[in-house]
Protein backbone atom coordinates (compact mmCIF):
# COMPACT_ATOMS: atom_id res chain seq x y z
CA UNK A 1 0.00 0.00 0.00
CA UNK A 2 1.29 3.44 -0.86
CA UNK A 3 0.10 6.95 -1.59
CA UNK A 4 1.34 7.37 -5.18
CA UNK A 5 -1.83 7.34 -7.25
CA UNK A 6 -3.21 8.76 -10.47
CA UNK A 7 -5.68 11.61 -10.53
CA UNK A 8 -7.11 12.39 -13.96
CA UNK A 9 -4.39 10.11 -15.30
CA UNK A 10 -1.51 12.07 -13.74
CA UNK A 11 0.69 10.56 -11.03
CA UNK A 12 0.34 12.25 -7.65
CA UNK A 13 2.31 11.88 -4.43
CA UNK A 14 -0.44 12.12 -1.83
CA UNK A 15 -2.24 15.34 -2.94
CA UNK A 16 0.68 16.79 -4.89
CA UNK A 17 0.93 16.53 -8.67
CA UNK A 18 4.32 15.01 -9.55
CA UNK A 19 4.58 17.32 -12.59
CA UNK A 20 4.36 20.32 -10.29
CA UNK A 21 7.09 18.88 -8.08
CA UNK A 22 9.33 18.31 -11.11
CA UNK A 23 8.92 21.94 -12.15
CA UNK A 24 9.58 23.29 -8.67
CA UNK A 25 12.48 21.00 -7.70
CA UNK A 26 14.03 20.04 -11.07
CA UNK A 27 14.72 16.45 -12.12
CA UNK A 28 15.85 13.92 -11.18
CA UNK A 29 14.71 13.72 -7.55
CA UNK A 30 13.50 11.25 -4.95
CA UNK A 31 10.03 11.79 -3.53
CA UNK A 32 8.74 10.20 -0.32
CA UNK A 33 5.24 10.03 1.11
CA UNK A 34 4.85 10.88 4.78
CA UNK A 35 1.54 8.98 5.00
CA UNK A 36 3.05 5.82 3.49
CA UNK A 37 6.03 5.86 5.88
CA UNK A 38 3.71 6.17 8.85
CA UNK A 39 1.37 3.53 7.53
CA UNK A 40 4.09 0.95 7.07
CA UNK A 41 5.50 1.31 10.54
CA UNK A 42 1.96 1.03 11.96
CA UNK A 43 1.23 -2.09 9.91
CA UNK A 44 4.37 -3.70 11.29
CA UNK A 45 3.58 -2.56 14.80
CA UNK A 46 -0.05 -3.73 14.64
CA UNK A 47 0.99 -7.15 13.35
CA UNK A 48 2.88 -7.63 16.62
CA UNK A 49 0.40 -5.97 18.92
CA UNK A 50 0.72 -8.60 21.66
CA UNK A 51 4.49 -8.98 21.62
CA UNK A 52 5.23 -5.21 21.76
CA UNK A 53 8.64 -5.61 20.10
CA UNK A 54 11.31 -2.97 19.64
CA UNK A 55 11.10 -1.99 15.98
CA UNK A 56 14.65 -0.90 15.29
CA UNK A 57 14.27 0.59 11.83
CA UNK A 58 17.29 -0.32 9.70
CA UNK A 59 18.73 3.13 9.02
CA UNK A 60 20.80 1.93 6.06
CA UNK A 61 17.66 1.59 3.92
CA UNK A 62 17.02 5.34 3.99
CA UNK A 63 18.88 7.53 6.44
CA UNK A 64 17.43 10.95 5.61
CA UNK A 65 16.93 12.85 8.88
CA UNK A 66 13.35 13.78 8.01
CA UNK A 67 12.52 10.12 7.37
CA UNK A 68 14.12 9.16 10.69
CA UNK A 69 12.14 11.89 12.44
CA UNK A 70 8.85 10.55 11.09
CA UNK A 71 9.69 6.99 12.10
CA UNK A 72 10.77 8.14 15.57
CA UNK A 73 7.42 9.92 15.94
CA UNK A 74 5.78 6.60 15.08
CA UNK A 75 7.68 4.85 17.86
CA UNK A 76 10.55 3.28 15.93
CA UNK A 77 14.04 2.74 17.31
CA UNK A 78 17.05 2.26 15.04
CA UNK A 79 19.39 -0.44 13.79
CA UNK A 80 22.69 1.24 12.86
CA UNK A 81 25.82 -0.14 11.21
CA UNK A 82 28.26 2.75 11.53
CA UNK A 83 29.17 5.70 13.71
CA UNK A 84 27.58 7.94 11.09
CA UNK A 85 24.26 6.11 11.26
CA UNK A 86 24.42 6.22 15.07
CA UNK A 87 24.86 10.00 14.92
CA UNK A 88 21.96 10.34 12.50
CA UNK A 89 19.68 8.28 14.75
CA UNK A 90 20.64 10.34 17.80
CA UNK A 91 20.24 13.60 15.88
CA UNK A 92 16.73 12.51 14.90
CA UNK A 93 15.97 12.15 18.61
CA UNK A 94 15.80 8.36 18.72
CA UNK A 95 16.42 7.31 22.33
CA UNK A 96 19.76 5.47 22.77
CA UNK A 97 18.01 2.63 24.58
CA UNK A 98 16.11 1.97 21.34
CA UNK A 99 19.25 1.69 19.20
CA UNK A 100 21.01 -1.55 18.25
CA UNK A 101 24.41 -1.62 16.54
CA UNK A 102 24.95 -4.28 13.84
CA UNK A 103 27.70 -4.96 11.31
CA UNK A 104 30.83 -7.10 10.90
CA UNK A 105 33.37 -4.29 11.11
CA UNK A 106 32.71 -1.94 14.01
CA UNK A 107 35.79 0.13 14.88
CA UNK A 108 36.90 0.76 18.46
CA UNK A 109 36.06 4.40 17.99
CA UNK A 110 32.51 3.51 16.92
CA UNK A 111 32.18 1.13 19.86
CA UNK A 112 33.26 3.86 22.29
CA UNK A 113 30.77 6.36 20.84
CA UNK A 114 27.95 3.83 21.11
CA UNK A 115 28.93 2.85 24.67
CA UNK A 116 29.08 6.49 25.75
CA UNK A 117 25.57 6.97 24.31
CA UNK A 118 24.43 3.87 26.24
CA UNK A 119 22.78 2.10 23.33
CA UNK A 120 20.49 -0.87 23.82
CA UNK A 121 22.57 -3.64 22.26
CA UNK A 122 25.62 -4.59 20.22
CA UNK A 123 25.12 -7.40 17.74
CA UNK A 124 28.57 -8.99 17.75
CA UNK A 125 29.78 -10.97 14.76
CA UNK A 126 33.22 -12.38 15.66
CA UNK A 127 35.53 -13.35 18.48
CA UNK A 128 37.90 -10.52 17.59
CA UNK A 129 35.09 -7.99 17.79
CA UNK A 130 34.02 -9.45 21.14
CA UNK A 131 37.51 -8.99 22.59
CA UNK A 132 37.78 -5.43 21.26
CA UNK A 133 34.36 -4.50 22.60
CA UNK A 134 35.16 -5.90 26.03
CA UNK A 135 38.39 -3.90 26.15
CA UNK A 136 36.76 -0.65 25.08
CA UNK A 137 33.86 -1.11 27.51
CA UNK A 138 36.14 -2.01 30.42
CA UNK A 139 38.29 1.06 29.73
CA UNK A 140 35.12 3.17 30.00
CA UNK A 141 34.07 1.34 33.17
CA UNK A 142 30.92 -0.15 31.64
CA UNK A 143 29.65 -3.47 30.32
CA UNK A 144 28.48 -3.69 26.71
CA UNK A 145 25.06 -5.35 26.27
CA UNK A 146 25.76 -8.09 23.71
CA UNK A 147 23.87 -10.45 21.46
CA UNK A 148 25.81 -12.62 19.02
CA UNK A 149 24.59 -12.56 15.49
CA UNK A 150 24.51 -16.24 14.65
CA UNK A 151 24.70 -17.62 11.13
CA UNK A 152 21.97 -20.28 10.85
CA UNK A 153 23.16 -21.54 7.43
CA UNK A 154 19.86 -20.88 5.66
CA UNK A 155 19.59 -19.70 2.05
CA UNK A 156 17.29 -16.70 1.61
CA UNK A 157 16.87 -13.46 -0.27
CA UNK A 158 16.25 -12.43 -3.81
CA UNK A 159 19.83 -12.08 -5.01
CA UNK A 160 23.21 -13.56 -4.04
CA UNK A 161 24.50 -10.06 -3.17
CA UNK A 162 21.85 -9.60 -0.48
CA UNK A 163 21.80 -13.08 1.05
CA UNK A 164 23.54 -13.11 4.43
CA UNK A 165 22.53 -16.25 6.29
CA UNK A 166 24.43 -19.00 4.49
CA UNK A 167 27.48 -20.60 6.13
CA UNK A 168 29.81 -19.15 3.45
CA UNK A 169 28.59 -15.56 3.94
CA UNK A 170 30.78 -13.19 5.97
CA UNK A 171 27.94 -12.50 8.41
CA UNK A 172 27.32 -13.90 11.86
CA UNK A 173 29.29 -16.34 13.97
CA UNK A 174 29.42 -19.94 12.71
CA UNK A 175 26.61 -22.01 14.14
CA UNK A 176 28.90 -24.60 15.71
CA UNK A 177 30.95 -21.99 17.53
CA UNK A 178 28.06 -20.09 19.07
CA UNK A 179 27.95 -21.86 22.42
CA UNK A 180 31.71 -21.59 22.94
CA UNK A 181 31.57 -17.88 22.13
CA UNK A 182 28.80 -17.29 24.65
CA UNK A 183 30.90 -19.11 27.23
CA UNK A 184 33.86 -16.88 26.37
CA UNK A 185 31.70 -13.76 26.51
CA UNK A 186 30.44 -14.74 29.94
CA UNK A 187 34.00 -14.56 31.26
CA UNK A 188 34.91 -11.13 29.87
CA UNK A 189 34.86 -8.06 32.11
CA UNK A 190 33.33 -5.62 29.62
CA UNK A 191 30.51 -7.82 28.31
CA UNK A 192 26.95 -8.45 29.51
CA UNK A 193 25.17 -11.16 27.52
CA UNK A 194 21.58 -10.10 26.78
CA UNK A 195 20.37 -12.08 23.79
CA UNK A 196 20.70 -13.72 20.40
CA UNK A 197 20.51 -12.03 16.99
CA UNK A 198 19.92 -13.31 13.47
CA UNK A 199 19.43 -11.69 10.06
CA UNK A 200 19.37 -13.95 7.02
CA UNK A 201 19.02 -11.63 4.04
CA UNK A 202 16.89 -9.04 2.30
CA UNK A 203 13.91 -8.98 -0.09
CA UNK A 204 12.83 -12.40 1.20
CA UNK A 205 9.54 -13.27 -0.45
CA UNK A 206 8.52 -16.46 1.33
CA UNK A 207 8.14 -17.51 4.95
CA UNK A 208 9.99 -20.83 4.76
CA UNK A 209 13.57 -19.49 5.17
CA UNK A 210 12.49 -17.34 8.11
CA UNK A 211 10.84 -20.36 9.67
CA UNK A 212 13.94 -22.55 9.23
CA UNK A 213 16.25 -19.90 10.67
CA UNK A 214 14.01 -18.91 13.58
CA UNK A 215 13.37 -22.54 14.61
CA UNK A 216 17.11 -23.12 14.75
CA UNK A 217 17.63 -19.94 16.75
CA UNK A 218 14.88 -20.86 19.23
CA UNK A 219 16.62 -24.20 19.84
CA UNK A 220 19.87 -22.33 20.42
CA UNK A 221 18.22 -20.01 22.94
CA UNK A 222 17.14 -23.08 24.93
CA UNK A 223 20.64 -24.55 24.79
CA UNK A 224 22.24 -21.31 25.89
CA UNK A 225 19.83 -21.02 28.79
CA UNK A 226 20.73 -24.59 29.69
CA UNK A 227 24.36 -23.45 29.72
CA UNK A 228 23.40 -20.84 32.29
CA UNK A 229 23.20 -17.67 30.14
CA UNK A 230 20.46 -15.13 30.69
CA UNK A 231 19.01 -14.83 27.19
CA UNK A 232 16.33 -12.18 27.51
CA UNK A 233 16.20 -10.76 24.00
CA UNK A 234 15.79 -12.17 20.54
CA UNK A 235 16.65 -9.88 17.61
CA UNK A 236 15.20 -11.39 14.44
CA UNK A 237 16.67 -8.84 12.00
CA UNK A 238 14.90 -7.54 8.91
CA UNK A 239 14.55 -8.97 5.45
CA UNK A 240 10.82 -9.09 4.75
CA UNK A 241 10.38 -8.35 1.03
CA UNK A 242 8.03 -5.91 -0.67
CA UNK A 243 6.12 -6.14 -3.96
CA UNK A 244 8.16 -4.47 -6.74
CA UNK A 245 5.62 -5.14 -9.46
CA UNK A 246 7.33 -8.28 -10.80
CA UNK A 247 6.44 -11.87 -9.97
CA UNK A 248 7.20 -12.22 -6.26
CA UNK A 249 4.45 -11.57 -3.71
CA UNK A 250 6.02 -11.44 -0.27
CA UNK A 251 4.11 -12.56 2.81
CA UNK A 252 2.06 -9.98 4.66
CA UNK A 253 3.53 -8.78 7.97
CA UNK A 254 0.58 -10.43 9.72
CA UNK A 255 1.61 -13.89 8.43
CA UNK A 256 5.22 -13.18 9.35
CA UNK A 257 4.12 -12.11 12.83
CA UNK A 258 2.01 -15.24 13.31
CA UNK A 259 4.99 -17.43 12.46
CA UNK A 260 7.19 -15.58 14.92
CA UNK A 261 4.56 -15.63 17.62
CA UNK A 262 4.38 -19.41 17.32
CA UNK A 263 8.15 -19.85 17.56
CA UNK A 264 9.14 -17.09 19.97
CA UNK A 265 6.27 -16.81 22.42
CA UNK A 266 7.13 -20.00 24.34
CA UNK A 267 10.62 -18.57 24.91
CA UNK A 268 9.39 -15.53 26.83
CA UNK A 269 11.93 -13.17 25.24
CA UNK A 270 11.76 -9.47 24.36
CA UNK A 271 11.64 -9.27 20.59
CA UNK A 272 13.61 -6.87 18.40
CA UNK A 273 13.17 -6.40 14.65
CA UNK A 274 15.29 -4.50 12.14
CA UNK A 275 12.99 -3.86 9.17
CA UNK A 276 14.28 -1.52 6.48
CA UNK A 277 12.88 -2.05 3.00
CA UNK A 278 9.44 -3.04 4.30
CA UNK A 279 9.08 0.39 5.93
CA UNK A 280 10.51 2.75 3.29
CA UNK A 281 10.63 0.83 -0.01
CA UNK A 282 7.20 1.59 -1.37
CA UNK A 283 7.14 4.99 0.34
CA UNK A 284 9.45 6.49 -2.27
CA UNK A 285 9.76 7.05 -6.02
CA UNK A 286 12.49 8.42 -8.23
CA UNK A 287 11.27 10.99 -10.76
CA UNK A 288 13.26 11.51 -13.94
CA UNK A 289 12.81 13.30 -17.26
CA UNK A 290 13.28 11.83 -20.71
CA UNK A 291 16.26 13.52 -22.40
CA UNK A 292 16.13 11.71 -25.74
CA UNK A 293 14.44 8.85 -27.51
CA UNK A 294 17.07 7.12 -29.61
CA UNK A 295 16.33 4.50 -32.21
CA UNK A 296 19.30 2.14 -31.87
CA UNK A 297 20.18 -0.66 -34.26
CA UNK A 298 18.30 -3.23 -32.21
CA UNK A 299 16.39 -1.36 -29.50
CA UNK A 300 14.59 1.87 -28.84
CA UNK A 301 16.45 3.66 -26.03
CA UNK A 302 14.70 5.93 -23.60
CA UNK A 303 17.55 8.08 -22.28
CA UNK A 304 16.50 9.62 -18.97
CA UNK A 305 18.27 12.15 -16.76
CA UNK A 306 18.65 9.75 -13.79
CA UNK A 307 21.59 7.36 -13.90
CA UNK A 308 22.99 4.32 -12.16
CA UNK A 309 24.74 6.70 -9.76
CA UNK A 310 21.29 7.84 -8.54
CA UNK A 311 19.64 4.40 -8.37
CA UNK A 312 22.10 1.52 -8.60
CA UNK A 313 19.77 -1.36 -7.75
CA UNK A 314 19.04 -2.48 -11.35
CA UNK A 315 22.73 -2.35 -12.31
CA UNK A 316 24.00 -4.01 -9.12
CA UNK A 317 21.34 -6.62 -8.36
CA UNK A 318 19.39 -6.88 -11.63
CA UNK A 319 16.57 -5.43 -9.53
CA UNK A 320 13.17 -4.79 -11.05
CA UNK A 321 11.53 -1.41 -10.56
CA UNK A 322 8.17 -0.63 -12.14
CA UNK A 323 8.68 2.42 -14.39
CA UNK A 324 5.64 4.54 -15.14
CA UNK A 325 5.04 7.64 -17.22
CA UNK A 326 3.82 10.45 -14.97
CA UNK A 327 1.28 11.51 -17.66
CA UNK A 328 0.83 8.63 -20.13
CA UNK A 329 0.26 9.62 -23.75
CA UNK A 330 -2.38 8.01 -25.91
CA UNK A 331 -1.26 5.43 -28.41
CA UNK A 332 -0.16 1.85 -28.70
CA UNK A 333 2.52 0.84 -26.18
CA UNK A 334 6.08 0.38 -27.44
CA UNK A 335 9.08 -1.53 -26.13
CA UNK A 336 11.82 0.59 -24.60
CA UNK A 337 15.27 0.03 -23.16
CA UNK A 338 15.48 2.56 -20.35
CA UNK A 339 18.98 3.90 -19.74
CA UNK A 340 20.74 6.77 -17.99
CA UNK A 341 23.44 9.22 -19.09
CA UNK A 342 26.36 7.56 -17.25
CA UNK A 343 29.15 6.32 -19.50
CA UNK A 344 28.75 2.62 -18.76
CA UNK A 345 26.77 -0.06 -20.55
CA UNK A 346 25.53 -1.19 -17.12
CA UNK A 347 23.73 2.14 -16.70
CA UNK A 348 20.49 0.45 -17.68
CA UNK A 349 17.28 0.41 -15.66
CA UNK A 350 15.20 -1.97 -17.78
CA UNK A 351 15.12 -3.84 -21.07
CA UNK A 352 12.12 -4.54 -23.23
CA UNK A 353 9.80 -2.48 -21.05
CA UNK A 354 6.36 -1.83 -22.52
CA UNK A 355 5.34 1.82 -22.12
CA UNK A 356 2.90 4.18 -23.82
CA UNK A 357 4.68 6.21 -26.53
CA UNK A 358 7.24 8.51 -24.89
CA UNK A 359 8.72 11.81 -26.05
CA UNK A 360 11.54 14.10 -25.02
CA UNK A 361 10.63 16.05 -21.91
CA UNK A 362 8.16 13.45 -20.57
CA UNK A 363 8.46 12.46 -16.91
CA UNK A 364 8.83 8.91 -15.67
CA UNK A 365 8.61 7.56 -12.12
CA UNK A 366 10.68 4.62 -10.85
CA UNK A 367 8.39 3.05 -8.28
CA UNK A 368 9.42 1.46 -4.97
CA UNK A 369 12.64 3.44 -4.81
CA UNK A 370 12.44 4.55 -1.18
CA UNK A 371 14.77 1.86 0.15
CA UNK A 372 18.42 1.54 -0.89
CA UNK A 373 17.96 4.32 -3.46
CA UNK A 374 19.23 7.69 -2.28
CA UNK A 375 21.50 6.06 0.32
CA UNK A 376 23.41 4.10 -2.32
CA UNK A 377 23.83 7.06 -4.67
CA UNK A 378 27.23 8.40 -5.66
CA UNK A 379 28.64 11.36 -7.56
CA UNK A 380 30.09 9.16 -10.31
CA UNK A 381 30.61 11.13 -13.53
CA UNK A 382 30.61 14.23 -11.25
CA UNK A 383 26.86 14.15 -11.13
CA UNK A 384 25.60 15.86 -7.96
CA UNK A 385 23.56 13.82 -5.50
CA UNK A 386 19.93 14.42 -6.35
CA UNK A 387 17.42 16.10 -4.02
CA UNK A 388 15.04 14.27 -1.75
CA UNK A 389 11.53 15.64 -1.35
CA UNK A 390 8.95 14.76 1.27
CA UNK A 391 5.24 15.14 0.55
CA UNK A 392 2.63 15.38 3.27
CA UNK A 393 -0.94 15.98 2.10
CA UNK A 394 -0.84 19.06 -0.13
CA UNK A 395 2.55 20.25 1.07
CA UNK A 396 6.07 19.30 0.13
CA UNK A 397 9.55 20.03 1.49
CA UNK A 398 13.00 19.53 0.04
CA UNK A 399 14.58 17.37 2.74
CA UNK A 400 17.99 17.15 1.08
CA UNK A 401 19.13 19.90 -1.25
CA UNK A 402 20.93 19.35 -4.53
CA UNK A 403 24.54 20.37 -3.90
CA UNK A 404 26.07 23.04 -6.13
CA UNK A 405 29.40 22.49 -7.85
CA UNK A 406 31.34 24.29 -5.11
CA UNK A 407 30.11 22.03 -2.36
CA UNK A 408 30.95 19.00 -4.50
CA UNK A 409 34.61 20.00 -4.87
CA UNK A 410 35.11 21.90 -1.62
CA UNK A 411 36.92 19.03 0.14
CA UNK A 412 39.34 18.68 -2.77
CA UNK A 413 40.37 22.32 -2.95
CA UNK A 414 43.60 23.45 -1.26
CA UNK A 415 45.32 20.16 -0.45
CA UNK A 416 47.52 20.41 2.64
CA UNK A 417 50.95 18.85 2.12
CA UNK A 418 53.04 17.56 5.02
CA UNK A 419 56.40 15.89 5.33
CA UNK A 420 56.16 12.11 5.91
CA UNK A 421 59.22 11.09 7.91
CA UNK A 422 60.89 7.91 6.64
The contact set with ligand LLP (CB under 6 A) reads 58, 61, 79, 102, 162, 199, 202-203, 237-240, 274-278, 313, 317, 371-372
- Cβ distance to ligand LLP smaller for residue 86 or 363: 86
Q: How far is the CB of 207 from ligand LLP (least distance, A)?
A: 15
Q: How far is the CB of 61 from ligand LLP (least distance, A)?
A: 5
Residues 48-73 as b/e (b if ≥16 CB within 10 A, e otherwise) read beeeebbbbbbbbbbbbebbbbbbbe
- Cβ distance to ligand LLP smaller for residue 125 or 337: 125
- Cβ distance to ligand LLP smaller for residue 104 or 334: 104
Q: Cα(first)–Cα(last) distance of the chain, in Å?
A: 62
Q: How far is the CB of 9 from ligand LLP (least distance, A)?
A: 30
Q: How far is the CB of 38 from ligand LLP (least distance, A)?
A: 18
- Cβ distance to ligand LLP smaller for residue 79 or 129: 79
DSSP-assigned beta bridge partners for residue 234: 196, 271
Sheet order of strands, 16-17 included: 4-7, 10-13, 16-17
- Cβ distance to ligand LLP smaller for residue 120 or 313: 313
- Cβ distance to ligand LLP smaller for residue 163 or 288: 163
Q: Can 31 be counted among the known catalytic residues?
A: no
Q: How far is the CB of 155 from ligand LLP (least distance, A)?
A: 15
Q: How far is the CB of 156 from ligand LLP (least distance, A)?
A: 10
Catalytic entry in 247, 297, 332, 343? 343
Q: How far is the CB of 102 from ligand LLP (least distance, A)?
A: 4
In angstroms, the Cα distances linking 265 to 121, 174, 183, 196, 271 are 21, 25, 25, 15, 9
- Cβ distance to ligand LLP smaller for residue 16 or 70: 70
Radius of gyration of the chain (CA): 23
User: What amino acid positions are annotated as catalytic residues?
Assistant: 343
Amino acid sequence: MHHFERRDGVLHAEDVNVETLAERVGTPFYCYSDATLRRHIRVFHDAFRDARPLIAYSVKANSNLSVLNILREEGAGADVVSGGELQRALEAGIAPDRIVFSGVGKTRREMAAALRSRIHQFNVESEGELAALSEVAASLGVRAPVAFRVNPDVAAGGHEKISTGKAEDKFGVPWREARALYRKAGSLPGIAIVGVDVHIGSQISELAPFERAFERVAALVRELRGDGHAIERLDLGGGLGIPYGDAATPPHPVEYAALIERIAKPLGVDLIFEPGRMIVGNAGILVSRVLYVKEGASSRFLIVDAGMNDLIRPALYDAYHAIEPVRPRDGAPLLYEIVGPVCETGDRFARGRRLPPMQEGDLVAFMSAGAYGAVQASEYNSRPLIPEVLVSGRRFAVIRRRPDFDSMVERERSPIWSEAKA
